[in-house]
Amino acid sequence: MSRRRARSSLASLPVALVALAAVGCGADAGQEPLGEQESPVVVCHASPTVEGIDVSEFQGSINWSQVKGSGRAWAYARIGDGTYMDSTFDANWPAMKAAGVLRGAYQYFEPGEDPTTQANIVVSKIGVLGAGDLPAMIDVEATGGQTATTIAAHIATWLSVVEKGTGKKPIIYTGKYFWQDHVADTTQFNGYSLWLAAYVSGCPDTPDAWSDWKIWQYTSTGSIPGISGNVDHDVFAGTLADVQALAGAGAAYAAKYVSQSWPLASSAMTMTAGQTVAASITLKNVGTKAWDSSTKLATSNPRDRASAFQASDWLSANRLDAVTGTVAPGASYKFTFSFHAPSAPGSYHEYFNLVEDGVAWFSDPGQGGPADDVMEAWIEVTADGDAGVGGDGGAAGGDAGVGGDGGLVGDGATGDGALHADGGDVAMLGNSRHSGGCSSGGRRGGGAGLAMLGVGLAAIAAWRRRQAR
């Protein structure tokens, strides 16, 4: 392999471009047979994911402001191929930071060359990483004529030197079959995050040594403003706040969904006109700032609208509840309030978000979200007292319905009758458009019966929505 090549066999595989908007679970029959595996570890992250790119000198001069404007929040630039220096890295590294792109650097690893020398090149180029700098990445896709044992030993040396020199634990980039065939699929590195190269139509299949991927390179033939020609496209499994946290440049204000007391937005909660129902939503502080009494659950989409469901325990017509005390980063808080149904029957969609009053909305640019249309309550108000679906989760009068005090849980929370999204920590953010991750492992504690129950309830909810509209 020529050192001047951007990618070797992993990047040149003639496989299909993945359609991210239609990611599904299950092994793809068209995946390239680069190795054998009896028990595939197929992992999906349908939402949320954050788009990024990785580049080398083969992309030429890059307009990083246009890249940032295209919606790419992060990018990696190649330092070189072994001891060969990439001609554009010295320009790309400062330009990414100046454009506000979370930046990272990688080196195409040559197992046949001295690993310490290669690692020291990385350290000399990027030094101790600071805020906004993502961990260095080792690109493992060549053998250099070395045995699996030697390759693994040289990778270990590189990782140790780079971590000590940069201050951050590196990421390993590789492909499933290359790793299993040429690095003996050793598990000694499964404590490092995996950047998986897999150009498949469907969910990628990870090496046996890992149960999940952190970044997925899904095509090498993408195109975006600011770059001429093809460029590698990647997705990060998580939110923008998660990428920022990895870069040590987390958003000041960010929240992650944990659970809620009313049904998810795929199902309506039915209330009688004038009825009052107690409600709660639990959110996790994933920002860098502690929450305080100015952190409030507010109406959104549009922001600060007067809600038709204001109850006597609300702070105002557009502020449902406020934090009592302080909530440190990493801690969770349950906002409690009530819904008071208006006198006019009808179908209502209520949206909420967090705001640090006088400072910022959590959905503002530069903050970590969620967006203003994510936390939703779909409420059907009737005049005849037909309770329908409602209460503390799922079907009225019981705990077995979809939703419950936790709904689809993505952050380790559980609830009455909740379904668990396996294979990822992505929460169902109160909205059917934001589904959790999935894997071939199935549903925890659910089984086929519970899965069929969920399908049936979803069909009923869809019928109810059509009738209502």
Could you tell me where the DSSP H helices lie in 99-145? 115-126
> How many domains does the chain contain in total?
2
Residue (of 340, 260, 283, 262) closest to 307 by Cα position: 340
Flag whether pLDDT at 388 surpasses 60: no
Residue 297 near residue 314 (C-beta atoms within 8 A): no
The token pair that represents 428 in the structure block: 């169902």
DSSP 430: S
So what's the pLDDT on residue 64?
Answer: 98
**Residue where one domain finishes, among candidates 197, 212, 246:** 246
Between residues 307 and 448, which one has the greater pLDDT?
307
Could you tell me where the DSSP H helices lie in 167-289? 176-182, 240-246
So what's the pLDDT on residue 1?
Answer: 30
The token pair that represents 260 in the structure block: 């809620």
223 and 301 part of one domain: no
Tell me the C-alpha to C-alpha distance, in Å, between residue 166 and each of 90, 161, 241, 250. Answer: 17, 9, 22, 19
Q: Whole domain around residue 206: which residue ranges? A: 20-246
Position 161, amino acid: V
**Residue where one domain finishes, among candidates 213, 229, 246:** 246
**Percentage with pLDDT > 70 across the chain:** 71
Mean pLDDT of the region 38-51: 67
Residue 181 lies in a domain: yes
Catalytic pick from 28, 54, 185, 232?
A: 54
Matching residue, tokens 């991927």 = 213
Q: Please confirm, yes or no, whether 32 is among the known catalytic residues.
A: no
228 and 265 part of one domain: no
Position 244, amino acid: Q
118 and 89 part of one domain: yes
pLDDT tens-digit series, residues 230-281: 999 999 999 998 898 899 876 789 898 999 999 988 899 999 999 999 999 9
So what's the pLDDT on residue 201?
Answer: 82
The token pair that represents 336 in the structure block: 């409690």
Q: Please confirm, yes or no, whether 141 is among the known catalytic residues.
A: yes
Task: Please state, in angstroms and rounded to a whole number, the distance separating the CA atoms of residues 268 and 277.
Answer: 14
Residue 10 lies in a domain: no
Mean pLDDT of the region 50-77: 96
209 and 273 part of one domain: no
Distance, CA of 77 to chain centre: 22
**Residue where one domain finishes, among candidates 195, 218, 246:** 246
Between residues 174 and 132, which one has the greater pLDDT?
174
Residue (of 270, 239, 261) closest to 383 by Cα position: 270
pLDDT tens-digit series, residues 347-356: 999 999 999 9
Tell me which H or E stretch contains 271.
strand 269-272
In this prediction the pTM is 0.53
Catalytic pick from 86, 110, 141, 205?
A: 141
Tell me the C-alpha to C-alpha distance, in Å, between residue 349 and each of 23, 374, 380. Answer: 27, 11, 9
